[in-house]
């Protein structure tokens, strides 16, 4: 397996799960957020970096015990000396930055390989000729001419003790050969390593010899040393520069091979196809120092400019204030701007590595720095005024400490020392007493310092608002608090991530051996059970390596023990990933994200609730609730019937399906198995190939089959090679459940529509169909649950998410969306078979640019009908498929077919051409029947949102579609025949498939209306939810009601407070099938309504909440008194809050209900809040009678309340009680709502509510 050391695969530190990307922006366009924007943003962390600058960092070997083995074969093999060149690793040349922040890609070559790739002035070597010398201990900042650089030279070190050779001898067994004295002419002789020496004796004068060396295909004529002894001639390259080489471990070369046996190694000279890789290793990784610089350069390449950073060494660069420009450059603690990044990289490239290992002093400096005011300023050390102190109590503080040695000098303890052998009260009131695995009787250790700066409130002037990090929950809150995997501290404290290079062999104490990671293996289990930590001391013992591990545990961080350059690169990446995973924002548990009634026409006494818990490894659940009248309390109880999380079948029994090859005859589906995953493809790559990639490095490993089983629910390997899960169901965020039970349409109506009695047959066949609910989840699949029991009976993984399924298994998983859209279900007539079928259409939303359709008529015999994505659209088509945010509609069209109609979505390829489109896809075949393109402003990104279809004459055939776009245009699409009968333009026509070609964009290609916050039309308001359609009170046309706002890109997190978002009711007067002209409706022709008061509302049960009153201005529908008729109304939402509408609306009689979203700009507070509104759709004002069970509290105002503050996510839904009353619910928070005493019915594309 080839391992990779490259900047591309070093995971960017980002608050992905928090909505704050800590990686730098790569384009002017924001990206679709891969975590819920409604979660708290959080603030960038404080970070201090400590790197070991001791002299042993110049060593080209690890561990320290190899210092006397420089002349051996094994010392030149990565199997024994992990610092040495590894042919199975790919070494990337790092990128650096100058002091202005300009990027520079470093490079080297095999024929001119820099001794120090970061300082080319040190010189170079030709590795293809006689230029390679194994550097065992060489200064990296001085040129060879000014520093001893010869074979046999040694350096003295106080720590670790002993002497180390500057250059390592080439192994004599392979780089020398001996022949007897009896030769008279040039004579060849081969060494065991395959080098052929030609020895020429000198027979006249001083007896001696000369020699040249050859190696087929590598070198020839290389001058060798030659000597004569009493027994023969010896030719040698042992202390001569040679072409670059390495050794490989080969257990077949000797009996009982071990890596410590030199006889088990074979010489390999660097071949032409690996020269570039070897050159990179030589210039950037060949010793501990270069490896550290390269690893840090790769890891910090993508660190966001918002992270606040400083750095230090151990013996030089010992301040954080930027005053030591000689050794620190300008390391003043501040945001990681390009200029500050340049200073870090300048420091990295100029570290001298000539000090001792003063780790405790460095730990104390870091902790004491966090006790100053600087880290808590809004803009520490920023240019200009910086007077804002003590900002953001939720800011986390981290210390990354890397060393290659055992610390060797203690420090004076800080005041009020809270070491791990003491008893004290923590800032949250908890008592700490001696307990495993923290306690250690040895005083003044690194672990003691780590405990002190974790247990001390480093800024008492700030509130204790740091989010607790509790990913490991047992149900016992006390045990969870003291579990070192968790960090429950809400006060300002320092968490340490420590790294040891080349020290693993010091972690072999028999009762507490190192298990490979902080909390793994029998060693940690023993510590947890009370085993004593080895006694660390100032004389640099192996116990001090254990102290690095202990320090990480005491401060609720992690310890990484690495031995090779590639492992160090990965460790730095993992540390930044762990910090990102700490969620410096409040990850909230069990958030209810959707609610739905079971089926058309029910009394809505049953609901299904989805939820997600971002603080519990992104787990999710679906629950069934029933509302039941309780005669004892004379109240309605909401009872939980089942929880799907507890009813997932055994992993081997789950019916999880993927697409089958096109040639298969099994309903287009096959079981998720390793064998089948090798057959199912997306974009030319099989699912198994995607799953073979390591989520952290992107490289192929041997875990593809394990990942298949993981996706099925196998828990083996969790917490070690695979991500630990709290449950088998992933988070359910945006997707609302769809229920499939009996027939969905009226029998006679449907028979008349298709001209036969097929729906009667269909209705009878499915009368006893087991009810199911379908919902999309972010564990990569659409789930089908038995609606009565909650047992998962079916799941489907869309092919469009194949490429990122492996990420779900990564231990450092950062949230991504997968199947996040709400499925839509409908009965459709299949013209080919002349039968009705129930189909489900699913979308991915932010999970991908695709939609799919399944035939779910018969549970247990599901069929994949089609998948539609970017590749389903001709390359010449101007508008491509974007992220499938548009919820589709299943509709009967005027071409005699059933179709799926949806907007092209967001962030499609080439979307800045200003175009968007309504896609019309054959419901049974998945073929694109028509793309109705609209043209917005060129240069601005665009995309069409969810459409609303209208059936004007209630014949079951869609006549119009309305949809908004990101540029604020509300479009109408005429789904009519161009040659229709003018006296009856909506006549159903089933005569030709070409009818769809006559569908067109309404109003001659102009929008019905363009939403702007100003009358000048310059401040465009995006439309991302579906409009609602209401029959106009005059009897002519529709009122198209919609809200504005966008909340899906990472840049949308805070909302747009530069202008208000609005709710509109626009009169479409041309709805009789005529050829419509440009309506030319602008904002100034609309009647404005306004929020007139925000007050406290009191419910009949005495509870209170914030409430709003809206005006009720009348609208002039007809011109009068020289005043022009008005074309509708608008209501501005609260601009200062960034309030917006991004969810679909609901109608209940004469009442229109909708939910607004208010982003929270406080990064330490909840990410979003909501208002629920009930208004008169005819006027946009308040209803004529009370809509909510709230009235203005006394002395605070008057008027009918039209809005109440309400929690929950995922949009509001209407729910009916057993007594016939209604509730408007967001999540599980419901308020009673009173509809207008007129007809109450469900609106769909099939008819428009007549609300007059």
- Within a domain: residue 424? yes
Q: Is residue 539 very low, low, confident or very high in pLDDT (cuts 50, 70, 90)?
A: confident
Q: What is the pLDDT of residue 10?
A: 30
Within this chain, do residues 295 and 191 fall inside the same structural domain, yes or no? no
Measure Cα distances from 559 to 72, 434, 447 in Å.
Answer: 32, 22, 12
- Within a domain: residue 606? yes
913: pLDDT strictly greater than 70: yes
The helix (run of H) or strand (run of E) holding residue 922 is strand 915-922
Q: What is the pLDDT of residue 982?
A: 60
Predicted confidence (pLDDT) per residue in 97-134, tens digit = 998 889 999 999 999 999 999 999 999 999 998 899 99
- Within a domain: residue 534? yes
Domain count, the chain: 3
- Assign 847 to helix, strand or coil: coil
Q: Mean per-residue pLDDT for 487-494? A: 96
Q: Is residue 902 very low, low, confident or very high in pLDDT (cuts 50, 70, 90)?
A: very high
Task: Count CB atoms within 10 A of the CB of residue 1122.
Answer: 5
Q: What is the C-alpha to C-alpha distance for residues 1164 and 1144, in angstroms, rounded to an integer? A: 29
Measure Cα distances from 524 to 559, 583, 721 in Å.
Answer: 12, 25, 17
| 1083 close to 1130: Cβ distance less than 8 angstroms | yes
Q: What is the C-alpha to C-alpha distance for residues 699 and 626, in angstroms, rounded to an integer? A: 49
Within this chain, do residues 452 and 593 fall inside the same structural domain, yes or no? no
**Which of 352, 350, 275, 287 is closest to 135 using CA atoms?**
287
Q: Is the dihedral of CA 1235, 1237, 1243, 1248 positive or negative?
A: negative
| 679 close to 670: Cβ distance less than 8 angstroms | yes
Within this chain, do residues 317 and 199 fall inside the same structural domain, yes or no? no
Q: What is the C-alpha to C-alpha distance for residues 956 and 224, in angstroms, rounded to an integer? A: 94
Q: Is residue 1196 very low, low, confident or very high in pLDDT (cuts 50, 70, 90)?
A: low
Within this chain, do residues 454 and 508 fall inside the same structural domain, yes or no? yes
Backbone φ and ψ of 789, nearest 5°: -110, -25
Q: What is the pLDDT of residue 1219?
A: 64
1028-1031: strand order across its sheet: 1028-1031, 1038-1043, 1062-1068, 1128-1132, 1087-1089
20: pLDDT strictly greater than 60: no
Q: What is the pLDDT of residue 588?
A: 44
| 308 close to 15: Cβ distance less than 8 angstroms | no
Q: Are strands 397-403 and 46-51 parallel, antiparallel or unpaired?
A: parallel
- Within a domain: residue 700? no
User: For position 847, which CATH number holds?
Assistant: 2.40.128.630
Q: Mean per-residue pLDDT for 906-915? A: 84
Question: What is the end-to-end Cα distance of the chain in Å, rounded?
Answer: 72
Q: What is the pLDDT of residue 983?
A: 59
Within this chain, do residues 417 and 300 fall inside the same structural domain, yes or no? yes
Domain end point (choices 582, 606, 637): 582
Measure Cα distances from 1053 to 818, 822, 1048, 1167 in Å.
Answer: 20, 22, 8, 8
Q: Mean per-residue pLDDT for 1164-1179? A: 86
Within this chain, do residues 488 and 619 fall inside the same structural domain, yes or no? no
- Percentage of residues in the chain with pLDDT exceeding 70? 89
Q: Mean per-residue pLDDT for 548-574? A: 94
Lowest mean pLDDT among 916-920, 933-937, 1094-1098, 1210-1214: 1210-1214
Token pair of 218 as six digits = 């590598």
Strand segments, DSSP code E, in 377-485 are: 397-403, 424-425, 431-432
Q: What is the pLDDT of residue 1210?
A: 59
Highest mean pLDDT out of 103-107, 299-303, 591-595, 793-797: 793-797
Within this chain, do residues 759 and 782 fall inside the same structural domain, yes or no? yes
Q: What is the average pLDDT score of the chain?
A: 87
| 248 close to 87: Cβ distance less than 8 angstroms | yes
DSSP letter for 1237, please.
S
Q: What is the pLDDT of residue 432?
A: 97
Q: Mean per-residue pLDDT for 799-814? A: 91
Measure Cα distances from 641 to 591, 608, 729 in Å.
Answer: 19, 10, 18
Do you know the residue count of the chain?
Answer: 1252
Q: Which domain holds residue 412?
A: 46-52+286-382+393-582
The residues, any chain, with a CB within 8 Å of residue 516's CB and separated by 6 or more, are none
The Cβ-side half-sphere exposure at 391, using a 13 Å CA radius, reads: 17
976: pLDDT strictly greater than 60: yes
- Within a domain: residue 1183? no
Q: What is the pLDDT of residue 784?
A: 97
| 452 close to 444: Cβ distance less than 8 angstroms | no
- Within a domain: residue 663? no
Q: What is the pLDDT of residue 1063?
A: 97
Token pair of 785 as six digits = 């649950």
Within this chain, do residues 479 and 551 fall inside the same structural domain, yes or no? yes
Beta pairing partners, 669:
659
| 626 close to 1218: Cβ distance less than 8 angstroms | no
Task: Count CB atoms within 10 A of the CB of residue 1172.
Answer: 25
Predicted confidence (pLDDT) per residue in 689-747, tens digit = 999 998 877 788 889 999 999 999 999 988 888 988 888 999 998 899 999 999 999 99
Residue 231 burial (10 A CB sphere; 0-12, 13-18, 19+): exposed
User: For position 324, which CATH number holds?
Assistant: 3.40.50.410
Q: Mean per-residue pLDDT for 1003-1008? A: 95
| 1149 close to 1240: Cβ distance less than 8 angstroms | yes
Token pair of 816 as six digits = 């991504």
Q: Mean per-residue pLDDT for 577-588? A: 59
Within this chain, do residues 611 and 557 fall inside the same structural domain, yes or no? no
602: pLDDT strictly greater than 60: no
- Percentage of residues in the chain with pLDDT exceeding 90? 64
887: pLDDT strictly greater than 50: yes
Q: What is the C-alpha to C-alpha distance for residues 664 and 594, in angstroms, rounded to an integer? A: 37
- Better pLDDT: 592 or 1080: 1080
The helix (run of H) or strand (run of E) holding residue 527 is helix 521-528
Q: Mean per-residue pLDDT for 386-412? A: 86
Domain end point (choices 582, 604, 632): 582
| 393 close to 464: Cβ distance less than 8 angstroms | yes
- Better pLDDT: 1072 or 118: 118
Domain end point (choices 559, 582, 605): 582
Strand segments, DSSP code E, in 1085-1127 are: 1087-1089, 1091-1099, 1104-1110
List helix spans (H) across 665-803.
674-677, 687-691, 704-712, 747-754, 758-765
Dihedral (Cα; 1115, 1116, 1121, 1125), 10-degree rounding: 140
585: pLDDT strictly greater than 80: no
Q: What is the pLDDT of residue 1248?
A: 39
Within this chain, do residues 353 and 460 fall inside the same structural domain, yes or no? yes
397-403: strand order across its sheet: 334-335, 308-312, 46-51, 397-403, 494-501, 558-562
- Better pLDDT: 987 or 1202: 1202
Residue 319 burial (10 A CB sphere; 0-12, 13-18, 19+): middle
Within this chain, do residues 639 and 501 fall inside the same structural domain, yes or no? no
931: pLDDT strictly greater than 50: yes
Q: What is the pLDDT of residue 1055?
A: 84
Task: Count CB atoms within 10 A of the CB of residue 698.
Answer: 13
- Within a domain: residue 33? no
Q: What is the C-alpha to C-alpha distance for residues 947 and 1025, in angstroms, rounded to an integer? A: 8
Q: What is the C-alpha to C-alpha distance for residues 888 and 949, in angstroms, rounded to an integer? A: 10
1194: pLDDT strictly greater than 70: no
- Within a domain: residue 193? yes
Buried b / exposed e along 86-120 (16+ C-beta atoms within 10 A): bbebbbbbbebbeeebeeeebebbbebbbbbbbee
Residue 870 burial (10 A CB sphere; 0-12, 13-18, 19+): middle
Q: What is the pLDDT of residue 474?
A: 79
Q: Is residue 961 very low, low, confident or very high in pLDDT (cuts 50, 70, 90)?
A: very high
Token pair of 550 as six digits = 């202990």
Within this chain, do residues 596 and 506 fall inside the same structural domain, yes or no? no
| 797 close to 780: Cβ distance less than 8 angstroms | yes
945: pLDDT strictly greater than 80: yes
| 1143 close to 1025: Cβ distance less than 8 angstroms | yes
Q: What is the pLDDT of residue 625?
A: 87
Q: What is the C-alpha to C-alpha distance for residues 1242 and 600, in angstroms, rounded to an integer? A: 8
Buried b / exposed e along 291-308 (16+ C-beta atoms within 10 A): bbbbbbbbbbbbbbbbbb
991: pLDDT strictly greater than 60: no
The residues, any chain, with a CB within 8 Å of residue 1131's CB and separated by 6 or more, are 1062, 1063, 1064, 1088, 1089, 1090, 1091, 1110, 1175, 1180, 1181
The helix (run of H) or strand (run of E) holding residue 479 is helix 477-482
The helix (run of H) or strand (run of E) holding residue 867 is strand 863-869
């Amino acid at each position: 397996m080839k391992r990779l050391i490259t900047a591309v695969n070093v995971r960017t530190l980002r608050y992905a799960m928090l909505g704050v990307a800590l990686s730098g922006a790569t384009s002017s366009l924001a990206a679709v957020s891969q975590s819920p924007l409604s979660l708290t943003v959080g603030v960038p962390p404080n970070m201090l970096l400590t790197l070991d600058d001791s002299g042993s960092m110049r060593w080209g070997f690890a561990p320290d015990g190899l210092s006397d083995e420089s002349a051996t074969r094994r010392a030149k093999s990565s199997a024994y000396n992990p610092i040495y060149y590894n042919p199975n690793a790919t070494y990337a040349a790092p990128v650096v930055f100058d002091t202005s922040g300009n990027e520079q890609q470093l490079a080297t070559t095999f024929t001119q390989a820099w001794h120090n790739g970061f300082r080319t002035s040190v010189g170079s070597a030709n590795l293809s000729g006689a230029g390679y010398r194994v550097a065992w201990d060489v200064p990296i900042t001085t040129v060879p001419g000014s520093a001893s650089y010869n074979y046999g030279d040694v350096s003295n070190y106080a720590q670790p003790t002993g002497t180390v050779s500057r250059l390592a001898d080439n192994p004599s067994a392979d780089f020398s050969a001996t022949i007897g004295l009896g030769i008279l002419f040039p004579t060849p002789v081969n060494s065991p390593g395959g080098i052929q020496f030609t020895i020429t004796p000198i027979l006249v004068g001083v007896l001696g010899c000369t020699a040249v060396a050859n190696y087929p295909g590598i070198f020839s004529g290389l001058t060798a040393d030659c000597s004569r002894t009493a027994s023969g001639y010896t030719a040698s390259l042992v202390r001569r520069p040679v072409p670059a080489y390495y050794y490989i471990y080969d257990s077949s070369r000797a009996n009982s091979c071990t890596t410590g046996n030199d006889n088990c190694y074979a010489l390999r000279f660097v071949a032409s196809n690996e020269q570039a890789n070897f050159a990179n290793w030589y210039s950037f990784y060949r010793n501990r120092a270069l490896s550290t610089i390269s690893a840090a350069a790769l890891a910090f390449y993508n660190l966001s400019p918002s992270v606040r950073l400083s750095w230090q060494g151990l013996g030089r660069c010992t301040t954080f204030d930027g005053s030591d420009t000689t050794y620190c450059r300008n390391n003043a603690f501040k945001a990681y701007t390009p200029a500050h990044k340049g200073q870090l990289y300048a420091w990295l490239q100029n570290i001298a590595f000539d000090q001792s290992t003063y780790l405790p002093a460095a730990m104390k400096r870091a902790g004491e720095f966090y006790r100053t005011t600087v880290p808590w300023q809004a803009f520490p050390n920023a240019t200009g005024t910086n007077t804002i102190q003590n900002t953001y109590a939720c800011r986390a503080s981290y210390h990354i400490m890397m060393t290659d040695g055992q610390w060797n000098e203690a420090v004076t303890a800080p005041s009020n020392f809270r070491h791990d052998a003491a008893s004290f009260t923590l800032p949250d009131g908890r008592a700490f007493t001696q307990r495993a695995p923290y306690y250690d009787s040895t005083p003044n250790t690194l672990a003691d310092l780590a405990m002190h700066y974790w247990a001390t409130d480093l800024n008492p002037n700030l509130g204790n608002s740091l989010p607790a990090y509790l990913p490991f929950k047992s149900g016992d809150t006390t045990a969870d608090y003291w579990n070192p995997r968790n960090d429950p501290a809400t006060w300002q404290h320092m968490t340490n991530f420590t790294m040891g290079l080349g020290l693993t062999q010091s972690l072999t104490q028999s009762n507490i051996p190192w298990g490979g990671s902080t909390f793994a293996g029998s060693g940690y289990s023993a510590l947890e059970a009370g085993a004593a930590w080895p006694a660390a001391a100032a004389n640099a013992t192996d116990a001090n390596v254990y102290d690095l591990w202990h320090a990480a545990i005491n401060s609720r961080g992690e310890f990484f023990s690495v031995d090779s350059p590639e492992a160090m690169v990965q460790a730095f990446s993992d540390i930044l990933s762990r910090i990102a995973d700490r969620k410096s924002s409040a990850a909230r548990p069990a958030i209810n994200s959707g609610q739905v009634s079971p089926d058309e026409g029910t009394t809505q006494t049953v609901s299904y609730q989805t939820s997600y818990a971002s603080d519990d490894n992104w787990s999710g659940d679906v629950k069934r609730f029933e509302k039941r009248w309780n005669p004892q309390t004379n109240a309605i109880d909401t009872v939980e019937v089942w929880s799907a999380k507890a009813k997932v079948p055994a992993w081997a029994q789950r019916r999880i399906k993927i697409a089958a090859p096109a040639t298969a005859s099994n309903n287009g589906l096959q079981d998720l198995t390793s064998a089948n995953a090798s057959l199912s493809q997306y974009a030319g790559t099989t699912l198994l190939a995607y799953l073979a990639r390591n989520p952290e490095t992107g490289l192929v490993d041997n875990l593809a089959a394990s990942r298949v089983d993981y996706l099925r629910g196998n828990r083996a390997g969790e917490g070690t090679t695979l991500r630990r899960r709290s449950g088998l169901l992933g988070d359910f965020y945006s997707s609302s459940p769809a229920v499939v039970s009996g027939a969905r349409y009226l029998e006679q109506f449907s028979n008349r529509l298709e001209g036969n009695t097929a729906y009667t047959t269909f209705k009878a066949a499915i009368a006893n169909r087991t009810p199911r609910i379908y919902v999309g989840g972010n564990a990569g699949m659409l789930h089908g649950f038995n609606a009565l029991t909650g047992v998962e009976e079916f799941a489907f993984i869309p092919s469009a998410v194949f490429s990122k399924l492996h990420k779900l298994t990564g231990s450092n998983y950062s949230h991504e969306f997968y199947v996040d859209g709400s499925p839509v279900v409908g009965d459709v007539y299949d013209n080919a078979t002349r039968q009705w079928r129930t189909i489900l259409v699913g979308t991915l939303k932010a999970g991908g640019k695709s939609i799919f359709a399944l035939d779910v008529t018969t549970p247990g015999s599901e069929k994949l009908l089609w998948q539609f994505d970017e590749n389903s659209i001709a390359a010449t088509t101007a508008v491509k498929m974007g992220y499938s945010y548009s919820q589709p509609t299943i509709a009967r069209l005027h071409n005699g077919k059933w179709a799926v109609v949806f907007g092209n979505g967001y962030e499609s390829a080439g979307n800045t051409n200003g175009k968007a489109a309504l896609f019309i896809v054959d419901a049974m075949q998945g073929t694109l029947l028509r793309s109705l393109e609209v043209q917005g402003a060129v240069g601005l990104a665009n995309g069409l949102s969810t459409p609303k279809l209208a059936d004007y004459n209630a014949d079951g055939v869609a006549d119009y579609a309305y949809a908004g776009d990101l540029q604020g245009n509300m479009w109408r699409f005429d789904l009519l025949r161009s040659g229709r009968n003018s006296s009856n333009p909506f006549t159903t026509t089933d005569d030709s498939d070409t009818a769809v070609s006559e569908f067109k964009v309404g109003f001659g290609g102009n929008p019905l209306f363009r939403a702007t916050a100003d009358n000048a039309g310059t401040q465009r308001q995006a439309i991302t939810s579906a409009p609602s359609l209401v029959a106009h009170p005059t009897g002519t046309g529709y009122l198209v009601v919609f809200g504005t706002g966008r909340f899906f890109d990472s840049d949308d997190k805070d909302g747009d407070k530069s202008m208000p978002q609005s709710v509109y009711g626009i009169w479409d007067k041309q709805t009789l099938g005529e050829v419509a002209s440009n309506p030319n409706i602008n904002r100034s022709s609309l009647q404005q309504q306004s929020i007139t008061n925000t007050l406290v509302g009191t419910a009949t049960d005495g509870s209170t909440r914030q409430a709003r009153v809206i005006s009720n201005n009348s609208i002039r529908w007809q011109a009068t008194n020289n005043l022009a008729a008005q074309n509708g109304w608008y209501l501005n939402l609260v601009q200062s809050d960034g309030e917006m509408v991004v969810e679909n609306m609901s109608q209940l009689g004469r009442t229109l209900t909708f939910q607004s979203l208010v982003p929270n700009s406080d990064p330490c507070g909840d990410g979003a809040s909501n208002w629920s509104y009930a208004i008169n759709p005819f006027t946009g004002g308040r209803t004529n009678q009370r809509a909510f069970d709230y009235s203005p509290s006394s002395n605070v105002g008057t008027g009918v309340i039209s809005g109440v503050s309400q929690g929950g996510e995922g949009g509001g839904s209407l729910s009916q009680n057993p007594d016939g009353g209604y509730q408007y619910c967001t999540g599980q928070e419901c308020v009673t709502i009173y509809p207008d005493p007129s007809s109450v019915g469900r609106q769909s594309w099939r008819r428009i509510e007549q609300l007059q």
